Amino acid sequence: MLRLENVRKRFGDQEILKGIDLVIENGEVVVIIGPSGSGKTTLLRCLNFLVRADEGNLWIHDRKVNLAAADRKTILEVRRSTAFVFQNYNLFRNKTVLDNVTLGLIKGRGTARGRAEEIATAALEQVGMKKFMARYPNTLSGGQQQRVGIARAVALNPDIILFDEPTSALDPEMVGEVLDVMKGLAGDGTTMLIVTHEISFAREAADQVIFIDEGVVAEKGQAEEVLAHPREERTKRFLRRLLPDSAA
């Protein structure tokens, strides 16, 4: 189980996160939705210390980590038990596809190269990118890059994978291939926290949906419940704008 408690963050005089609480069970897929600028990316980044929260706790492995005050060693440990899939992939440009996936294993976790390559090959196979192993990222399409990005996260076998709008930088025809990979992971019981605007994906793959608005959790619950029968007026408004022709 992973738990976030009272996460707060301000940039300048703007309060972006106003005390977020959230619980994710092992094997659960949680989707975060919410309007642009509501703080979704900031929340994921706080969890991984890419942004330093002003306040808040993270429970991981029955261990309490202070997001505002964790030291270097703790930060490294948290990062080594989580993985991040970025909106614009952020594959290492100076490394081949294979090396992109093995880097964290070899340098971060001290896995022997041979073993790391076995793990990486399996992960690339899983996302259908094994035959591109020797290529450099800039020779791949966006969808292919993002699938490698997912393999890079999966290979680390983390407690949770954080996805920040993994398909929103993609051309429409490539969205499907990435979402299919993610559905596969959901089926395998991978714990995932996903920020996305893909409502039909959320309906299909998510256990829990959280609607964040202006830095607070405005509504949360079972995916079907929140997406099809939202209680809050602002959730309804947001979904209507996202799905103009749906009944919600």
Query: In the complex, which residues of this chain contact Mg ion (CB under 5 A)?
Result: 41
Task: Evaluate whether 34 touches 76 at the Cβ level (below 8 Å).
Answer: no
Which range binds ligand ATP by CB under 6 A, 36-44, 65-73, 92-100, 180-188?
36-44
Q: Is 150 exposed, middle or buried (0-12, 13-18, 19+ CB in 10 A)?
A: buried
| Contacting residue, 83, 160, 212, 218, with other proteins by CB under 8 A | 83
- Of 65, 62, 56, whose CA–CA distance to 10 is shortest? 56
| Contacting residue, 48, 145, 167, 191, with other proteins by CB under 8 A | 48
| Contacting residue, 3, 10, 18, 80, with other proteins by CB under 8 A | 80
The nearer residue to other proteins, 161 or 227, going by C-beta atoms, is: 161
**Residues 123-152 interacting with other proteins (rule: CB under 8 A):** 136, 138, 152
Q: DSSP letter at 104?
A: I
Assess 189 for contact with ligand ATP (CB under 6 A).
Answer: no
Give me the residue whose beta carbon is nearest to ligand ATP. Answer: 41
In the list ligand ATP, Mg ion, other proteins, none, the entry touching 187 (Cβ below 5 to 8 angstroms by class) is none
Residues 6+ apart with CB under 8 A from 146: 85, 89, 166, 167, 169, 170, 174, 178
In the list ligand ATP, other proteins, Mg ion, none, the entry touching 16 (Cβ below 5 to 8 angstroms by class) is ligand ATP
Q: Smallest distance from the beta carbon of 138 to other proteins, in angstroms? A: 6
Q: Is 94 exposed, middle or buried (0-12, 13-18, 19+ CB in 10 A)?
A: exposed
The nearer residue to Mg ion, 51 or 91, going by C-beta atoms, is: 51
What tokens appear for 167 in the block? 């398909």
**Residue type for position 63:** R
**Number of residues written out for the chain:** 248
Name residue 57's beta-bridge partners: 5, 66
Assess 38 for contact with ligand ATP (CB under 6 A).
Answer: yes
The nearer residue to other proteins, 44 or 226, going by C-beta atoms, is: 44
The nearer residue to ligand ATP, 13 or 62, going by C-beta atoms, is: 13
Task: Return the axis-axis angle of helices 172-187 and 142-155, rounded to nearest 10°.
Answer: 20
Q: Kindly list the residues in this chain that would bind other proteins in the complex (CB under 8 A).
A: 48, 50, 76, 79-80, 82-84, 86, 88, 90-95, 103-104, 107-109, 136, 138, 152, 156
